[in-house]
Amino acid sequence: MKPPSLKPGDTIGVMAPSGIVEKDDIEKSTNFLESKGYKVFVHPQTYERHNQSAGTHLQKTLALQGLWQRDDIDAIWAAGGGNRSLHIIESINFEAMKKNPKTFIGFSDVTALLCAIHAHTGITTFHGPVFKSLHKHGEFDHLHDLLTGKNVSYPMEKSEIINEGEAEGVLIGGNLNIFQYLPPILPEGFYDDAILFLEDCSEEMSRFDKMLLHLKHQGVFEKISGLVIGDFHDIRDNGEPFGFTLEDLIREHTEGLDIPIVMNAPFGHGKTLYSFPIGAKSALKVQKDHISFSLLESAVQK
Reduced 3-state DSSP string for the chain: CCCECCCCCCEEEEECCCECCCHHHHHHHHHHHHHCCCEEEECHHHHCCECCECCCHHHHHHHHHHHHHCCCCCEEEECCCCCCCHHHHHHCCHHHHHCCCCEEEECHHHHHHHHHHHHHHCCCEEECCCHHHHHHCCCHHHHHHHHCCCCCCCCCCCCEEEECEEEEEEEEEEEHHHHCCCHHHCCCCCCCCCEEEEEEEEEEHHHHHHHHHHHHHCCHHHHCCEEEEEEEEEEECCCCCCCCCHHHHHHHHCCCCCCCEEECCCCCCCCCCCCEEECCEEEEEEECCEEEEEECCCCCEC
Confidence of residue 23 (pLDDT cuts 50, 70, 90): very high
User: Taking 90 as the threshold, does the pLDDT of residue 240 lie above it?
Assistant: no
Please state the CATH superfamily assignment of the domain spanning residues 160-295 in this structure.
LD-carboxypeptidase A C-terminal domain-like (3.50.30.60)
Residue ranges per structural domain of the chain:
11-137, 160-295
Note the pLDDT tens digit of each residue in 98-142.
999 999 999 999 999 999 999 999 999 999 999 999 999 999 999
Contact 111, 230 (CB under 8 A): no
Q: Model-level pTM?
A: 0.97
Q: How confident is the model at residue 287 (pLDDT cuts 50, 70, 90)?
A: very high
Q: What is the mean pLDDT of residues 74-96?
A: 96
Asked, colleague to colleague, whether 11-137 and 160-295 share their fold, the answer is no
What is the pLDDT, as a whole number, of residue 140? 97
Q: What number is the average pLDDT over the span 183-205? A: 95
| Residue 216 predicted with pLDDT over 90 | yes
Q: What is the pLDDT of residues 46-69, one digit of tens each?
A: 999 999 999 999 999 999 999 999
Separation CA 67–CA 40 (nearest Å):
12
CATH topology for 11-137 is: Rossmann fold (3.40.50)
Answer positive or negative: Cα dihedral of 166, 170, 176, 180.
negative
